[in-house]
Amino acid sequence: MNNKFILKTEQFNIAKIDSGTTYTYVPSKLFRLLMKEFDSYCFEDPINNCKGKRITNSSRSICFEYQENEFKEGPLNYFMSYPVLNFHAESVNNTKVSLKWYPSEYLVKYRVD
């Protein structure tokens, strides 16, 4: 997460990537590790990191509020306040593969009417 290795994640060494889906599902233990690091990142610099109010719900999801009126130039500064998630793995033919997952890709707009 933002070039910081998350300890104990090396045990999750098998993944299937479906680039056509909106949501990502991970094992509960990995989700808890990610949440711990995500929270650490957000609380490290609360003025500049994670500029949306966190919405807590009972599901295993990370939700943040985006107020369009607070970002008059558009969502770029909002997205830049969240960490880049870096995943490293080996492919079937033992080729090293890296995937950078940007906030503009893992944060999805959710409307409450």
CB 30 within 8 A of CB 12: yes
Residue 48 lies in a domain: yes
CB 62 within 8 A of CB 35: yes
Residue 35 lies in a domain: yes
Residue 20 lies in a domain: no
Q: 88: domain range?
A: 28-106
Residue 8 lies in a domain: no
Q: pLDDT value at position 35? A: 85
CB 65 within 8 A of CB 57: no
Residue 5 lies in a domain: no
Tokens of 16: 């299937």
Long-range pairs, 102-111, Cβ under 8 A, ≥24: 103/79, 104/75, 104/79, 106/24, 107/64, 107/79, 107/82, 108/22, 108/23, 109/66, 110/63
**Number of structural domains, the chain?**
1
Residue 83 lies in a domain: yes
pLDDT tens digit sequence for 75-105: 999 999 999 988 877 777 888 888 888 988 8
Residue 67 lies in a domain: yes
The band of 64, judged by pLDDT with boundaries at 50, 70 and 90, is confident
The band of 62, judged by pLDDT with boundaries at 50, 70 and 90, is confident
Mean pLDDT of the chain: 80
pTM: 0.78
